Amino acid sequence: MFATMLPFAVGVDLGGTNLRVAVVDEQGHMLEKLITPVAELRTSERVIARMCDHIQQLRKRYESTGRLHGIGVSIPGIIDLDTGVLRECPNLPGWYDYPARQEIEARLGTRVILENDANAAAMGEFWLGAAREYDSTCMLTLGTGVGGGIIIKGALWHGMTGMAGEPGHATVDPTGPLCGCGNHGCLEQFSGAAAVVRSAREAAAAGEAPTLQSAIERDPHFTARTVYELAMKGDTPSQKIFERSGRALGTAIASMINMLNLPIYIIGGGGSGGWDAFAPSMFEEVEQRSFVYRATTQPGANQKARPRTRITRAMLGSDAGIFGAARLPMLPEEVYEHSLHQGTPAAITVFKEHSN
Q: Which residues bind a copy of itself (CB under 8 A)?
A: 133-136, 148, 150, 152-153, 157-167, 169-174, 181-184, 247, 251-252, 254-256, 258-263, 288-292, 294-296, 300, 302, 304-307, 309, 340-344, 347-349, 351, 353
Instruction: Supply the minimum distance, in Å, between the C-beta of residue 169 and a copy of itself.
Output: 4
d(CA 277, CA 216): 20
- 225 vs 310, which CB is nearer to a copy of itself? 310
- 4 vs 83, which CB is nearer to a copy of itself? 83
d(CA 310, CA 263): 6
- 3 state SS of 291: helix
d(CA 152, CA 119): 12
- 244 vs 327, which CB is nearer to a copy of itself? 244
Instruction: Supply the minimum distance, in Å, between the C-beta of residue 310 and a copy of itself.
Output: 10
| R_g (Cα) of the chain, nearest Å | 21
- 3 state SS of 268: strand
Instruction: Supply the minimum distance, in Å, between the C-beta of residue 206 and a copy of itself.
Output: 22
- 134 vs 222, which CB is nearer to a copy of itself? 134
Cα 48 to Cα 9, 105, 253: the distances in Å are 18, 10, 37
- 3 state SS of 101: helix
303-309's contacts with Cβ under 8 Å and 24+ in sequence apart are 307/263, 308/263, 309/257, 309/261, 309/262, 309/263, 309/264, 309/265
- 241 vs 254, which CB is nearer to a copy of itself? 254
* Strand-pair category, 310-313 with 146-152: unpaired
- 169 vs 327, which CB is nearer to a copy of itself? 169
d(CA 235, CA 249): 21
d(CA 279, CA 171): 19
Instruction: Supply the minimum distance, in Å, between the C-beta of residue 181 and a copy of itself.
Output: 4
Instruction: Supply the minimum distance, in Å, between the C-beta of residue 302 and a copy of itself.
Output: 8
Residues in the chain: 356
Instruction: Supply the minimum distance, in Å, between the C-beta of residue 113 and a copy of itself.
Output: 19
DSSP conformation class of 77: S
Instruction: Supply the minimum distance, in Å, between the C-beta of residue 3 and a copy of itself.
Output: 33
Q: Choose among 256, 317, 316, 250: nearest CA to 286.
A: 250
Instruction: Supply the minimum distance, in Å, between the C-beta of residue 311 and a copy of itself.
Output: 13
Q: Choose among 119, 93, 82: nearest CA to 41.
A: 93
Instruction: Supply the minimum distance, in Å, between the C-beta of residue 26 and a copy of itself.
Output: 20
- 110 vs 258, which CB is nearer to a copy of itself? 258
Q: Choose among 280, 276, 277: nearest CA to 288.
A: 280
Which residues have C-beta within 8 Å of that of residue 343, sequence separation ≥ 6?
A: none
The amino acid occupying position 113 is: I
- 1 vs 346, which CB is nearer to a copy of itself? 346
- 71 vs 286, which CB is nearer to a copy of itself? 286
d(CA 167, CA 140): 7
